[in-house]
């Protein structure tokens, strides 16, 4: 019985060592996959930063265009008022 126990323990030790090697290989595969995922995440973050920068530039351009449109509308409104005052001063045409 002692011999069987010793053989069983020896077999368990060998299996433990062999499974340790397999686990190391599996860890290497998982590490490689994790590195690829990290690289993809870093690339995605870089793309997102570029997109954010482009969006900020577009927003700035849109704000400038809105300001120019507002100024043009204000000028148009002033001109309309001037024309209306001039027409009122001239009086009705007969």
pLDDT in tens, 46-79: 999 999 999 999 999 999 999 999 999 999 999 9
Q: Find all residues with CB under 8 Å of 46, minimum gap 6, and list them.
A: none
- pTM here is 0.56
Tens digits of residue pLDDT in 24-50: 888 889 999 999 999 999 999 999 999
Judged by phi (left if over 0) then psi (alpha if -120 to 50, else beta), residue 43 lies in alpha
Q: What's the pLDDT score for residue 25?
A: 85
Above pLDDT 90, what percent of the chain? 63
């Amino acid at each position: 019985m002692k011999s069987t126990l010793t053989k069983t323990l020896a077999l368990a030790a060998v299996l433990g060592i062999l499974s340790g090697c397999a686990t190391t290989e599996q860890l290497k595969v998982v590490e490689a996959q994790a590195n690829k995922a990290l690289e993809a995440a870093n690339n995605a973050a870089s793309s997102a930063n570029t997109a954010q920068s482009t969006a900020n530039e577009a927003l700035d351009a849109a704000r400038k265009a809105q300001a120019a449109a507002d100024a043009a509308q204000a000028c148009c409104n002033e001109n309309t008022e001037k024309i209306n005052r001039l027409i009122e001063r001239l009086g009705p045409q007969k």
